[in-house]
Amino acid sequence: MALQAAFVVPHPPLIIPAVGRGKEELIRATIDSYDEVARQIAALEPQTIIVTSPHATAYRDYFHISPGTSAHGDMRRFDAPDTDLTCTYDTELANRISTLAAAEDFPAGTEGERDPSIDHGTYIPLYFVDKFYRDYEVVRIGLSGYGPLEHYHLGQIIAQAVEEIDRRAVLVASGDLSHKLTHDGPYGFAAEGPVFDGQITEAMAQGDFLRILGFDEGFCDKAAECGLRSFQIMAGALDGKSVDARLL
């Protein structure tokens, strides 16, 4: 079984009603699109959802795959203590990814976990999926300080592992775009912000993954982007596949 599909999603804490307290309605279009993604995942009935998150355990020179059999998380750090989410990990797939990486001396595996709790970059996609579908396990993977090609290659390893153990799986690349879009936002405004958002969404809509690998690092820093490396992993997982790209 090959990877069934891949989805790029944002993770604004505001989108969770317990955090937004009504303000989430300001991003209703995003909520509706997220629900559509979740419905599509439910229709595929994956055994495993692979989540790549900028807020999972990350190292400069290592890709961390969450170990163990399960994890728990909430949105307490965003003043929403009465939230709760638990997931079961697909240990077989996680171990297979680690084994393939080790076989070629690629820096990825389950060592060095710092915080076992579910980060908000993982919590938010699973929150939406759980509205429509719950019969799945999870593989959670953090990003690294490596460049585009290493992130892309990790995606290739993930896809190979999915095929080798015949897993029915989807990949969710969690990541916001620019954090500098408005003068009154928490990070302020940078001219590069909306330019980055326009270019990355255009590339996604066209399935132009080569373009995703070629963004200038300085430009990305000025735009304060969040999820580009997550998207690069997704691009690698789709290497060699015919992709029907759709922008919601």
Residue type, 155: G
pLDDT per residue over 92-133, tens digit each?
A: 999 999 999 999 999 999 999 999 999 999 999 999 999 999
Give the integer Cα–Cα distance in Å for 80 and 105. Answer: 41
pLDDT per residue over 142-176, tens digit each?
A: 999 999 999 999 999 999 999 999 999 999 999 99
- The residue behind tokens 């490396």 is 229
pLDDT per residue over 50-72, tens digit each?
A: 999 999 999 999 999 999 999 99
Integer CA distances (angstroms), 45 to 135, 136, 137, 234, in order: 8, 8, 11, 19
Q: pTM of the predicted model, to two decimals?
A: 0.96
Residue 221, judged by CB atoms within 10 A of its CB (0-12, 13-18, 19+), counts as: exposed
pLDDT per residue over 180-238, tens digit each?
A: 998 887 889 999 999 999 999 999 999 998 899 999 999 999 999 999 999 999 999 99
Q: Name the residue among 78, 83, 82, 73 with its Cα closest to residue 12.
A: 78
Give the integer Cα–Cα distance in Å for 20 and 23. Answer: 5
Question: 3-class SS at 130?
Answer: coil
